[in-house]
Amino acid sequence: MLKFIAKRVLFLIPIMLGVMVIVFAIRAITPGNPVDSLLSEDATEEQRAELTAELGLDQPLPVQFVRYVGDAITGDLGTSYTTKQPVLQELLTRLPISLIVCFGAVAIGVLLGVPLGTLSAVKQYSWTDSVVRILSMVFAATPQFCLGLVLIMVFSVQLHWLPSVGLSGPASFILPMATIGLSSLAQYTRITRSSMLEVIRQDYIRTARAKGQTEFAITTRHALRNAFIPIMSQIGNQVGHQLGGALIVENVFGMPGVGKYIGDAITARNFPAIQGGVLMLALIFTIVNLLVDLSFAFINPRLKSSIMNSKAGPIEKWWKARRKKTADVA
Amino acid sequence: MAKIKTPTPAMVRYAKKHKRPKTYSPTRDAVKRFVRNRNAIVGFIIIMLLLVIAILAGVIAPYEYQAQDYAAAFQGPSGAHLFGTDNYGRDLFSRCLYGARYTLLLALGCVILAFLTGGALGIIAGYFGGTVDTVIMRCMDVLQAIPQVLLAICITSALGNGVPQMLTAIMFSSMPIMSKNCRAAILNVRNADYVEASRAIGVSEGRMILKHMIPNTVGMMVIYVVGLMGASINIMASLSYLGVGLVPPTPEWGLILSEAKGYFTSFPHMVLFPALMILITILAFNMLGDGLRDALDPRLK
């Protein structure tokens, strides 16, 4: 088990290095000199040369890349061209907003999608089933920014229930969360439906029914639990999409999160900010995927036993020996 | 020599009664399943209609897509302007019709590029396996570590605005998913008997992939390509909305929407119609894709 976890965690390193290559390449292929963006127009040649040397832009690209990686690992993501503040600090103040939107959206998607998917599986081919499927198809086909605009139109402009743009208290989170959550609804209903359809035909469901269990208990306690593994993996996949969605939705709703930060940085061609933002989102995305994979191993007994029975690697051997030793001492 | 007998009436009667059993081919089966699927047919018809609109946009559209008429700005839907007009007095109906041409063409371009790059890489990875597979798929893992929209936005922001730049951006961001799917499709047939047989008679590797394996996975690949059409339209519209990629006055639906976003509280029609066009198109492609999946790959049901 430990070997499995260690392997997966170590796998993060090449992925993040690769992401850094991409992020660095984006800067490298962009025409224009960052020195021009940092200095005012009337800067002297000496000032320009000094800044170029300070930023390391006179070095060959591989050297620049190594410097960039070194800086990024120590938490130095550069200085924003527009605000002259460290990018990392700016990102960290905005990150909670994005995370709340993202995980709120996942919660909305799951809390609506799983019951709806279950309902449409239990009542397969009924009108409930059709309504759920059509609804989720429509939501899936609507680009997130369109859905956001429609929600603003209905809930803020017409009904005046919720604030439309900007961050003014907890109510501002509702519409962005709902936008992302609804657009991912189809993924959850679809996977729940197909997973449930497979499960409810099984023998133990019939047994439960024969025992006289209520339909509700059968659906929730027996069927849904066993149908949950594909749903879990879907949740993991969706988090990534939702980070990307947060980028668009935050711009639609003017939420000051990481997505809006990157959006503004793109308009201003503020490259350290773009690079830092992308790096941070990629890191979160990869870590979330890792956690999903690991949680899988714990939830799915079959996978767990296959990992447990695999040959123990050096780390695991060391761990087991150590545990044995401590047990002996005790 | 045996004499050829003219069939007796009894023989004809027998032959009429016992017709030769119908032959079944996978293609015919697939077509049958597809035609029976109501959603798929609806999606197919909508896409055909959109194609007709795209081709005939110049004939159907009552105005030029960039013809400005300030006297008629901000009008709601009416007889003269079916979808109303925008802030420059341009007819939104005409813009949406021309939009079909631009949007579908660009999305098709994205998908073809993604298939030629990502798909080819996936096929190579799946066929050769080993180190080639590992290297290609690890690169794809890296690309996939960045959310798709974000990657597309970053590449466009680096390359600048314009059609080729945007196509490149969407190509790169769709590459991982395309390559993973194509690799899986090739792995499915890699150990099939006919592949082994052709290897035994010394078929070259290029011929093996192009003539034996791809034709046998074409169903799967069609599913991925159609699925990617909807996704590409979505990403393209999102990029346009954020102001990267295409530049006005290109009548791409996302861009029409983006230009209208400042006015949408007072003139909702400016947002509504392009949004509906996007919604209907993506919905149609999704429906068609699902139908094709059911028809071409019954195992996945």
Query: pLDDT tens digit string along B184-239?
Result: 888 888 888 888 898 899 888 888 888 888 888 888 888 888 888 988 988 888 88
User: A258 vs chain B: nearest CA distance in angstroms?
Assistant: 11
Q: B69 versus A177: which is more confidently predicted? A: A177
The one-letter amino acid code at B79 reads G
- B257 and A CB contact within 8 Å: yes
**A240 in a structural domain:** yes
Number of domains forming the structure of chain A: 2
B254, A19: Cβ pair inside 8 Å?
no
**A299 in a structural domain:** no
**DSSP structure class, residue B252:** -
Contacts 24+ apart (CB under 8 A), A30-34: A30/A269, A30/A271, A30/B157, A30/B158, A30/B159, A31/B160, A32/A269, A33/A57, A34/A81, A34/A271
- Rounded distance, CA A222 to CA B241, Å? 45
3-state secondary structure A43-111: CCHHHHHHHHHHHCCCCCHHHHHHHHHHHHHCCCCCECCCCCCEHHHHHHHHHHHHHHHHHHHHHHHHH
A86 has which bridge partners? Answer: A79
The pLDDT-based confidence of B293 (bands split at 50, 70, 90) is confident
The residues spanned by each domain of chain B are 31-58+88-300
Of B246, B170, B156, B157, the closest CA to residue A270 belongs to B157
- Mention the CATH class of domain B31-58+88-300: mainly alpha
The one-letter amino acid code at B174 reads S
Confidence (pLDDT) at B48: 92
Do A168 and A63 have their domain in common? Answer: no
Q: B287 versus A322: which is more confidently predicted? A: B287
Do A57 and A91 have their domain in common? Answer: no
**Most B CBs within 10 Å: which of A146, A195, A279, as the mutation test of the B interface?**
A146
- Rounded distance, CA A200 to CA B85, Å? 53
User: Which residues form the domain of A125?
Assistant: 87-291
Of A70, A106, A77, A57, the closest CA to residue A237 belongs to A106
**Most A CBs within 10 Å: which of B142, B229, B267, B282, as the mutation test of the A interface?**
B142
User: A30 vs chain B: nearest CA distance in angstroms?
Assistant: 5
Cβ contact A257:A87 at 8 Å:
no
Query: pLDDT tens digit string along A153-189?
Result: 888 777 777 776 766 777 778 888 888 888 888 888 8
Confidence (pLDDT) at B298: 58
Do A262 and A164 have their domain in common? Answer: yes
Do A160 and A201 have their domain in common? Answer: yes
**A11 in a structural domain:** no
Cα separation of the two ends of chain A: 24
A18, B141: Cβ pair inside 8 Å?
yes
Confidence (pLDDT) at B11: 83
Q: Is the peptide bond before B21 cis (omega within 30 degrees of 0)?
A: no
pTM attached to this predicted model: 0.81
Q: Which residues contact A224 (CB under 8 A, 6 or more apart)?
A: A114, A118, A196
Confidence (pLDDT) at A304: 64
Q: Which residues contact B29 (CB under 8 A, 6 or more apart)?
A: none
Do A221 and A94 have their domain in common? Answer: yes
Domain final position from A51, A76, A101 = A76
Contacts 24+ apart (CB under 8 A), B209-214: B209/B123, B209/B127, B213/B123, B213/B127, B213/B186, B213/B189, B214/B123
Do A193 and A229 have their domain in common? Answer: yes
Provide the mean pLDDT of chain B. Answer: 83
* Domain CATH number, residue A177: 1.10.3720.10
Confidence (pLDDT) at B113: 93
Question: What ipTM was reported for this prediction?
Answer: 0.78
- Rounded distance, CA A14 to CA A20, Å? 10
Give the burial class of A322: count Cβ atoms within 10 A of its Cβ; 0-12 exposed, 13-18 middle, 19 or more buried.
exposed
User: B70 vs chain A: nearest CA distance in angstroms?
Assistant: 26
Residues lower than pLDDT 50 in chain A: none
Confidence (pLDDT) at B122: 92
Partner-chain residue, chosen from A143, A245, A266, that has the shortest CB–CB distance to B278: A143
Does B301 have pLDDT greater than 50?
Answer: no
**Most B CBs within 10 Å: which of A29, A248, A262, A290, as the mutation test of the B interface?**
A248
Q: A54 versus B107: which is more confidently predicted? A: B107
User: B169 vs chain A: nearest CA distance in angstroms?
Assistant: 11
SS3 A40: coil
Kindly state the tokens that stand for B96: 């949406």
Q: Residue B53, Cβ neighbours under 10 Å: how many?
A: 19
**A109 in a structural domain:** yes
**A329 in a structural domain:** no
**DSSP structure class, residue A254:** T
SS3 B52: helix
**A254 in a structural domain:** yes
Query: pLDDT tens digit string along B17-60?
Result: 877 766 677 778 788 888 888 888 888 999 999 898 888 877 77
Domain final position from A49, A76, A103 = A76
Cβ contact A277:A258 at 8 Å:
yes
Confidence (pLDDT) at A75: 76
Do A140 and A282 have their domain in common? Answer: yes
**What φ, ψ does residue B258 adopt, rounded to 5°?**
-60, -40
Confidence (pLDDT) at A312: 59
Does B153 have pLDDT greater than 90?
Answer: no
Do A249 and A272 have their domain in common? Answer: yes
Q: Which residues contact A243 (CB under 8 A, 6 or more apart)?
A: A98, A102, A281, A284, A285, B147, B150
- Mean pLDDT, residues B288-297: 82
Domain final position from A46, A76, A106 = A76
In the stretch 2-61 of chain B, residues with CB closer than 8 A to chain A read none
Distance from the Cα of residue B202 to its chain's centroid: 36
- Rounded distance, CA B234 to CA A142, Å? 8
Confidence (pLDDT) at A81: 75
SS3 B161: coil
B154, A244: Cβ pair inside 8 Å?
no
- B227 and A CB contact within 8 Å: no
